[in-house]
Amino acid sequence: MPAGSNGVHRLSHGRALGLRTFLLSLACITLMMLDLRTDVGKPIRSVLMQITYPLQAVAALPATLANWSGDSTRSRAELALENARLKRERLLADARLQQLNVIIAENERLRAMLDARPRLGTDVQVAQILGVDADRFRNRVVVNKGASDGVVAQQAIIDANGIVGQIVSVGPYTANAMLISDPGHAIQVEVVRNGLRTVAFGAGDKDQLEIRFLPNNTDIVVGDLLVTSSLGGEFPPGYPVAEVTAVEIRPRQEFAKVTATPVAALSRMREVLLLAPLTPPAPDESNDGTE
Amino acid sequence: MAPSSRERTSVVYIALIFALVLSAVPLPEFLAAHRPDWVALVLLYMAIYTPGHWLMTSALIAGLVMDALFGAPLGQYALALIVACYLPHKLHLRLMLVPIWQATLTALLFLAVYQFVLFWVNGATNNDIGAAFHLWPIVSAIIVWPLTLVILDTARLGRRKKS
């Protein structure tokens, strides 16, 4: 085998190949451990996301084109019907909003009377799903807002129905988000009916979350609505998360098997809302007259 | 075996970028599970038919790009690609001459190694999705690999070499 004269690198033969593979594998494992345990990976990932942005944009083209052509070819009758429906829904929503404003004002007055801290307002930002993340192992999406739009990690994401997930990593123009159905995701929830606090874990299934560690005699039934709890975490309290679909008492096990279906349409999202990042409440300003 | 003057090796790099885009294109749920591992297949082609042209470096870079695209721990896909490409590259002289059906078997074995490494890392990082998700793409490769072989060979050499 002539060496060096045929364009094939000498290093790719024999023991040198094995050594190179071994060293590169070791480097990859080290990189993985660093990425998982420390923050060293974040700048690298950010740079990689910047470089791969054109790739992502191209990859998103077919879906965008399909949506655009779907939207552009609807009949006038369809559009007129949808227009009427949206106007009706808007009217109903406005009516409830009037109620809401009154309640917010009352709430502020009551809190002021009790000397409690004022409730935080919530700003929202509309974003589009650039593509359902193609890694079938993770329930992730890419949104079309990034650091240049003020997006930060751990921002909550909702759709029209409820909680969708949270931002995980931010690129300059896009951001990766983890859905609540991701096995690596757990969200603190509260049962609306009785205030019971528990945690909903993702299990890889967009239609099913697992509520783990509930004793068999817990007061939870099929149909209960779970909302984000006020116990802290990245999500503002009170947003719908999921509805309980099955409660299985297992007498010989410690915990019951409870599953819930997310209320957000995790498989069919196009537009979502990014909620403003929760800042910790300002320290109580006591009434000592120094203001 | 010197590359002939009519051989356009740069085709494989274009194919690699194309494969990366194909991996990222959003697909409906029922199709997504069966998506073939395009990047792995192109790298397998590179390992057997264009050895020595920066195979391991390409595997590393393509792997890191996929990790960034998918939000995986940096190095997971890179590790899987590098480990899987070792044997085909080492045995490329023999594998080059094999008929298509046998080449498909090789591809299936290669993908099994690739998916196994991904499965292992997923397990180690407590990201357990069902094992089925690792197996479907291997099945898709049965159809996809011969096609890929023919397309890349035609693009690179101008016509499929009789083997």
pLDDT digits (tens, 9 = 90+) for A219-234: 999 999 999 987 767 8
**3-state SS of chain B: helix, strand, coil percent to 5?**
70, 0, 30
Cβ A179 vs Cβ A166: under 8 Å:
no
C-alpha to C-alpha distance for A211 and A245, rounded to whole angstroms: 11
pLDDT value for B96: 85
**Which residue blocks in A160-210 are alpha helix, DSSP H?**
none
pLDDT value for B154: 86
Paired tokens of B67: 């990790």
Q: How many CA atoms lie within 13 Å of A206's alpha carbon, on the beta-carbon side? A: 18
CA dihedral A186, A192, A196, A202 (to 10 degrees): -20
Q: Which of A67-76, A205-214, B88-97 has the lowest mean pLDDT?
A: A67-76
pLDDT value for A288: 44
* β-strand partners of A167: A177
Q: What are B106-162's pLDDT values in tens digits?
A: 999 999 999 999 989 888 887 767 777 788 888 888 888 888 888 888 888 876 554
C-alpha to C-alpha distance for A241 and A263, rounded to whole angstroms: 6
Pick from A46-55, A182-191, B123-132 the range whose average pLDDT is largest.
A182-191
Chain A hits for B120, Cβ within 8 Å? none
Average pLDDT over residues A63-77: 80
Interface of B with A in 111-150 (CB under 8 A): 118, 121-122, 125-130, 133
Q: Determine the 3-state secondary structure of A239 from DSSP.
A: coil
pLDDT value for B40: 93
ipTM: 0.84
pLDDT value for B77: 93
pLDDT value for A27: 92
C-alpha to C-alpha distance for A229 and A259, rounded to whole angstroms: 18
Average pLDDT over residues A108-132: 73
Among residues B64, B18, B40, the alpha carbon closest in space to that of B140 is found at: B40
pTM equals: 0.68
Indicate yes or no: CB of A176 within 8 angstroms of CB of B125: no
Cβ B41 vs Cβ B19: under 8 Å:
yes
pLDDT value for A1: 41
pLDDT value for B18: 92
Residue A24 has its nearest CB partner, among B17, B82, B90, at B82
Residue B75 has its nearest CB partner, among A5, A21, A32, at A32
* Length in residues, chain B: 163
Choose between A19 and B2: higher pLDDT: A19
Q: Which of A126-140, A193-207, A274-288, B113-127 has the lowest mean pLDDT?
A: A274-288
Indicate yes or no: CB of B75 within 8 angstroms of CB of A31: yes
Q: What percent of chain A has pLDDT over 90?
A: 24
Choose between A57 and B130: higher pLDDT: A57
Indicate yes or no: CB of B126 within 8 angstroms of CB of A184: yes
What are the C-alpha distances in Å from B100 to residues B76, B139, B142?
A: 30, 16, 11
Average pLDDT over residues A60-81: 82
**Which residue blocks in chain A are alpha helix, DSSP H?**
14-37, 41-72, 76-114
Q: What are A229-262's pLDDT values in tens digits?
A: 877 678 888 889 999 999 988 888 888 899 999 9
Q: What are B5-57's pLDDT values in tens digits?
A: 557 778 889 999 999 988 888 777 677 778 888 999 999 999 988 877 788 88
Chain B hits for A44, Cβ within 8 Å? 74
Contacts of A210 (CB under 8 A, 6+ apart): A200, A201, A202, A203, A257, A258, A259, A260
pLDDT value for A282: 47
B151 Cα to chain A: minimum distance (Å): 21
Nearest CA in chain A to B122: A137
pLDDT value for A285: 45
* β-strand partners of A170: A175
Residue A184 has its nearest CB partner, among B29, B79, B127, at B127
Interface of B with A in 51-110 (CB under 8 A): 51-52, 55-56, 60, 63-65, 67-76, 78-79, 82-83, 85-86, 89-90
Contacts of B118 (CB under 8 A, 6+ apart): A137, B76, B77, B80, B134
Query: Does residue A132 have a pLDDT over 70?
Result: no
pLDDT band at residue B1 under the 50/70/90 scheme:
very low
C-alpha to C-alpha distance for B100 and B103, rounded to whole angstroms: 5
pLDDT value for A121: 60
Cβ B5 vs Cβ A10: under 8 Å:
no
pLDDT value for A118: 58
